[in-house]
Structure 1
Amino acid sequence: MEKVPILVLVSVLLLVPTATAARTQDGSEDWGYVEVRPKAHMFWWLYRSPNKVKDPSKPWPIILWLQGGPGASGVGIGNFEEVGPLDTNLKPRNSTWLQKADLLFVDNPVGTGFSFVEDNALFVKNDVEAATDLTTLLKELFNRNESLQKSPLFIVAESYGGKFAATLGLSAIKAIEEGTLKLRLGGVALGDSWISPEDFVLSWGPLLKDVSRIDDDGLEKSNSVAQLIKQQIKDGKLEDATNSWSRLENLISAGSNHVDFYNFLLDSGMELVSVSVTTTEISPKKFTFTRYTRYLNSLRQSSLAPGGNGDLDTLLNGVIKRKLKIIPNNVTWGMQSDNVFEAMTGDFMRPRIDEVDQLLAKGVNVTIYNGQVDLICATKGTEAWIEKLKWDGLQQFLKKSRTPLYCGSDRRTRGFTRSYKNLHFYWILGAGHFVPVDQPCIALNMVADITQSPAAASAPHTST
C-alpha cells in the first residue's frame, strides 16, 4: 500500500440531493461533487492554508484556479503541476500558492478531469454556459458556509481558463447583486489567457520572425492565414476559424522546425505536432490539448526524482482516486476531456474583450499577467487586445511607467508591473505559458500582491 503525504482517512461523507462532499480528519482539505445540472457533475477540491493569518483588516483570501484547454483539469494540472501543495511525486512544493491563500481547484467545464456528464448532450457549448455551471457550484459551496463568505474570492485563470474567468466574474457579480450568491469577489486574474484569439494568431508570425524562428516566406504564409481567421471571426464563422487556427499552428510548426507553442525558445520535439492534419485522421481540434499537456510533461520528466511518480494519469487514477473515495468507479480522470474541447469548437475563437471591459467598468480588480516567451498567448497579442478596451482609464494606464520586479534580495530583474485604478499588468521575464512553473518565485510574489494576503509581509520584491 502506498504511503502518501497528508493522505488521511475520510472522516465526513455528506450526501444531499445535489452534492457529495468529504474531508480530511484535520479539516485541511474538502472535496466533492456538485450536480450543477441534472446528470452533470462538477468536481471541486479545497485546500485550507496552514499559513492562514487572522487579521480583521485583511481577511484571508481564497483563490479559485481555472485551467485552460478547454478540457484541461485544474484538479490535476493546476494542482499537482503548478501551484498546489504537492507535486506529481507527492513531495511538498516550496512555491505553493497555499502560502498566500486557500486554494479551490475545480474541474471545469463538466466532463473535465474528475467531472463528468451522464449524457453527452450535457457538455457545455460556450463560455457563458460554463460560467453558469460554475456559479451554481459557488452557490452550493459558499451560501451554506459563513466561514467561506468572510474570505474574498479571487478567480485566477490560465490559458483558455481566462475566458471562463471573465464570464464567471460577470455571472458571479450578477448573482451577488440579486442576492442568490453570498460571496465577496476580490478580483479576477488572467494569466496568459486566450481572451482575443484574433490578436494572438496575428502576433505569431511577426513575433517568430523577430526572434529568427521563421523566415520571410513563413511570415507571409502565417499572416495570410491569420488574416483569414480575422475575417472568419468577423463574419461569425467561428468553427471555420477554429479549423483555420489548427491549420495555422501546423503551418508554423513546419516553418519553424517545430517551435514549442508554450515557450518559443524551445522545440516541441513531438512528431504529432509536425504532421499535417490534412493527411491524418487526427482531429485538428485535439491538437491544442495535446500540446498543452505535453509541454508540462516534458518539464516534469526533466526533474523527476528517481523512482518518482510523474505520470499524472497514473497518479490521479491511482493514489488520488483512492484517497478521494467518492469518485464513481466508472469515472476515469480525464476520460471526457476531448469531448469537452469538441463541444466548444463553436466558441473557441470567440473573443471575450467586452467581458473584461464590463468587469473593469464595475470596479472589479482585473490583473493580467503574461510570460515573456509564451507563443500561444503571446505578450504581443495580449498587449494588442488590451489596447482595444473601452474602459475609461485605459489611456492613463498605458501612459504609466512600469515598476521592475525582483525576488527577495536577488536584484536581477524578474519582470515589470504597471497599475492604474483597478487594472494591473505583470510582464514575467523568462516564463513561458505556465508562469508558476517557469518562474515560481515571482509568481508567488505576484499572487501575494493580487490578493493582498496578510501572509505577504516578506522581503521587498518591487521597486519604484
Structure 2
Amino acid sequence: MAFRKLTNMTILVLILILILVITASSSKPVDTLPGFPGKLPFNLQTGYVGVGDMESVQLFYWFVESERNPEEDPLLLWLTGGPGCSGFSGLVFEVGPLMFDYAKSRGSGTLPTLKLNPFSWTKVASMIFIDAPVGTGFSYATNPESYGVTDTLAAAHNYQFLRKWLLSNPKFQKNPLYIAGDSYSGIILPILVKTISDGNEIEGGGKRMNLKGYILGNPVTDLSVDKNWRIPFYHKLALISDQFYQATKTNCKGQYINVDSSNAACFQNLQLVSECVRNIFTAQILEPNCFDAATKEAKAFGWDPSNLTHHNQLNLLLPNAFHHTPTWCRSYNYVFSYIWANDGEVQTALHVRKGIKMEWNRCNRSLSYTYDVTSTVPYHKYLINKDYKVLIYSGDHDAVIPYLGTMTWIKSLNLSLKRDWLPWYVGGQVGGYTLQYTQGNYNLVYATVKGGGHTAPEYRPEESLAMISRWLAGFPI
C-alpha cells in the first residue's frame, strides 16, 4: 500500500511538472508569414510564457535566432517601450529581421508586403521580442484582476518570463545574456537587471542566468531630469532664441517642471517656449509633426480604424490617401502594422491563441497601469558595483528624452571617465559621439547616434547596427 501511494504520488508530481513546463512556455516555429515571399531565411519562434499567480498572465513573444552563430552569439531580451508597445513594433520598425516594403504595399489590395531588414541586430545576436506588460500586443490575462500592473510588477513578470523561457530553451542558457530596450524600458529594465543580478547571487550554478550587461536607448530614467532638460535642448537645437532661453532660465531658476504657481514670470516664459515648439515632432525634431495615436494615424488616410481586421480595407486606406497627403509622416508607416497583425491568416501563422484578443494595437494606451517608480537612477547606482558591460545610447535629435538629460544622470553615477568625447564612424562618416566610464569591472559606454530620433535604430539603422556589433564584440564603437 505504501509503495502504491508513493508511486501514485510520484506520478502526480511528474504530471504536475509536465503541466508546468507545458503551460509555462508553449512555442512553435514559424517558417512562413503572409506578406513575405517564400520561406523565412532565419529561424523564428513564437509562443506564450505563463507568469504571475497561477500563470494568469500569458506573455506572447517572438524569438529570432542569430543569423550568424546562434550557438555562441549573445542572447538579447528586447523590451519595447510605451509602456504597452508590442515587441513586434521593435522587431519590424527598429532592430528585427523584417520590415514593411512600403512601396509594394501601397494600393496592392492585399496584405502589406514584408521584406528583409539588412541592418537587423539579429545579424549578430539572438533576440527575444516580448509583448509586455500584460495587455500589450498578443499578451493577455485569464482573469480581469491580472490586467492591473505596475512598474515593479512588470519587471517581476519579465523576470519570471526569462527564467521560464531559458528553462524551456536550455541550449541558450550559456550564451552571453543582455537585457536591451528603449524609451520607457528605461524604467522597467534596470529593475529587471537588478532582480536577475540578485537572483544569480542566490541560485546555484545551474540556475544562474549568464547576464553580462544591459543596453538602453533614449531611456526614460528620472522623470524630473528627463523633462527638465528639454528646454536647454530646444535652445541648443535653435528652436528657441538665446533671449527666450536666458529669460526662462533666470525666471524659472533652471527648473522648468513643477513650477511654483506664484512664479508668474516663469509661467509666461514657458508659454512663449511652448509656442515656439508647439508644432515640432518631438521624437525627431527634423521630421514633420503628424499624429501619435493609432486612430489618428489611421484617420490620416481617411480610414476608419474600426475596420482594422478587414485587410480588404487596404484599398480604402492606401491608393489615394498618399496623393492627398502634402507631407510624408513617419507615423503613417505604423498603419501597416495594424492591418497586418490584425489579419486572421497572420495570427494563425504566428500561433496566436484564438479568442483571447479583440484587436492588436502597436501601442496599447488603455492599459490598467500604475506608475510606481519615478527614477531608476538608484538601480543604476546599485548595478555599478557589478561586473557588467553597459551601453546607453541617444538619438541626438530626440526631444522626448534629450541626450542632455541622459548624460546628466550618467554623470551623477560618479564613474571614472576612461575615454572622453570622441566621434565614431560608419562608412567614413561621423555616426555619433561616445564617452566611456568605468568603476572596477563595471564598464559603461555612452553613445549618441547622429540624426537619430527617440528610437534611434528606426531612424539610423545602419549606424545602430554598427554600434551594437562593435560594442558586443568588445571593440570601441
Using structure 1 for the length normalisation, give the TM-score: 0.74
Contact 1:111 1:336 in 2 (8 A): no
Structure 1 equivalent of residue 24 of structure 2: 18
The Cα of 1:22 is off from its aligned counterpart by: 1.4
Moved more, 206-215 or 315-324: 206-215
Change (3 A) 1:24 1:206: closer
Please, which runs of 5 or more residues in structure 2 have no aligned partner?
1-19, 32-39, 101-112, 261-268, 295-327
User: Is 1:416 aligned with 2:433?
Assistant: yes
SS of the residue corresponding to residue 354 of structure 2 reads coil
In structure 1, the residue matched to 2:385 is 361
Quote the residue 1:402 is aligned against: 421
- Go from structure 1 to structure 2 and tell me whether the alpha carbon gap of 1:330 and 1:420 turns closer, same or farther (over 3 Å shift): closer
Q: Deviations over 1:398-434 (max 9, x none)?
A: x632342111xx2221112222331111111111112
> Is the 8 Å Cα contact of residues 66 and 161 (structure 1) preserved in structure 2?
yes
SS in 2 for 1:137: helix
1:50/1:134 Cα in 2 relative to 1: closer, same or farther (>3 Å)? same
The residue aligned with 1:49 is 66
**Alpha-carbon distance in structure 2 between the residues aligned to 1:265 and 1:192:** 17
Letter in 2 for 1:298: C
Deviation at 1:220, TM superposition (A): 6.3
Q: Distance in 2 between matches of 1:370 and 1:335?
A: 22
Structure 1: runs of 5 or more not aligned: 1-13, 233-247, 274-296, 303-308
Cα displacement string for residues 209-233 of structure 1 (whole angstroms, at most 9, x for unaligned residues): 333323556886798599474589x
The aligned counterpart of 2:163 is 139
Does the C-alpha gap of structure 1 residues 92 and 170 become closer, same or farther in structure 2, counting only changes over 3 Å?
same
Structure 2 CA distance for partners of 1:363 and 1:301, relative to 1, 3 Å: same
Distance 1:378 1:256, change over 3 A: same
CA contact (8 A) 1:371 1:427 kept: yes
Shift of 1:325: 2.3
1:177-256 mapped onto 2 (5 Å cutoff):
177-179=201-203, 181-215=207-241, 227=255, 229=257, 254-256=275-277
Counterpart of 1:258? 279
Judging changes above 3 Å, is the alpha-carbon distance between structure 1 residues 219 and 355 closer, same or farther for their aligned structure 2 residues?
A: same
Structure 1 equivalent of residue 307 of structure 2 = none
Measured against aligned partners, the alpha-carbon deviations of 1:227-265 in whole angstroms (never above 9, x if no partner) come to 474589xxxxxxxxxxxxxxx999965442311110123
Q: Tell me whether 1:70 sits opposite 2:83 in the alignment.
A: yes
* CA gap 1:226/1:92 in 2 versus in 1, 3 angstroms: farther
- Secondary structure of residue in 2 paired with 1:339: coil
2:356 counterpart residue number: 330
Mapped to 1, the partners of 2:153 and 2:272 lie a distance apart of 32
**Residues in 2 aligned to 1:267 and 1:253: alpha-carbon distance in whole angstroms:** 17
Contact 1:187/1:364 (8 A) holds in 2: yes
Per the alignment, do residues 435 and 139 of structure 1 end up closer, same or farther by CA in structure 2, a change over 3 Å counting? same
TM-score by length of 2: 0.72
1:258-317: CA deviation from partner (whole Å, max 9, x where unpaired): 1111012334134989xxxxxxxxxxxxxxxxxxxxxxx932747xxxxxx951111111
Alpha-carbon distance between aligned partners in 2 of 1:383 and 1:335, rounded to the nearest angstrom = 30
Root mean square deviation of aligned Cα: 3.4
Structure 2 counterpart of 1:20, one-letter code: S
The total of aligned residue pairs comes to 385
Using the alignment, how far apart are the partners of 1:125 and 1:178 within structure 2?
26
- Cα shift at 1:82: 1.0
Match of 2:300 in 1: none
2:223 counterpart letter in structure 1: P
Distance 1:249 1:87, change over 3 A: farther
CA contact 1:65–1:155 (8 Å) conserved in 2: yes
Name the CA distance, whole Å, in 2 between partners of 1:214 and 1:333.
39
Whole-angstrom CA distance in 1 between matches of 2:23 and 2:270 = 45
- Identity among equivalent positions (%) equals 25
Of stretches 148-157 and 311-320 in structure 1, the one that deviates more from structure 2 is 311-320
2:299 matched to which residue of 1? none
Describe the superposition over 1:62-100 as per-residue Cα deviations: whole angstroms up to 9, x where unpaired.
1111111111112x2101111111112310111111111
Q: Cα gap change, 1:258/1:325 in structure 2, threshold over 3 Å: closer, same or farther?
A: same
- Distance change >3 Å, CA 385–CA 370, structure 1 → 2: same
**Structure 1 residues 249, 190: CA separation in 2 closer, same or farther (over 3 Å shift)?**
farther
| Counterpart AA for 2:118 | N
Aligned: 1:130 with 2:154? yes
C-alpha displacement at 1:177, in angstroms?
2.2
Map of 1:170 onto structure 2? 194
Distance in 2 between residues matched to 1:113 and 1:381, nearest whole Å: 30
1:382-409 C-alpha deviation (Å, 9 max, x unpaired): 111112215xxx1x22x632342111xx
Q: Which amino acid aligns with 1:405?
A: W
Letter in 2 for 1:21: S
Matching residue of 2:473? 452
Mapped contact 1:252–1:258 kept (Cα < 8 A): no
- 1:86 equivalent in alignment to 2:98: yes
Shift of 1:362: 1.4
The question of 1:440 aligning with 2:455 is answered no
Alignment pair present for 1:425 and 2:446: yes
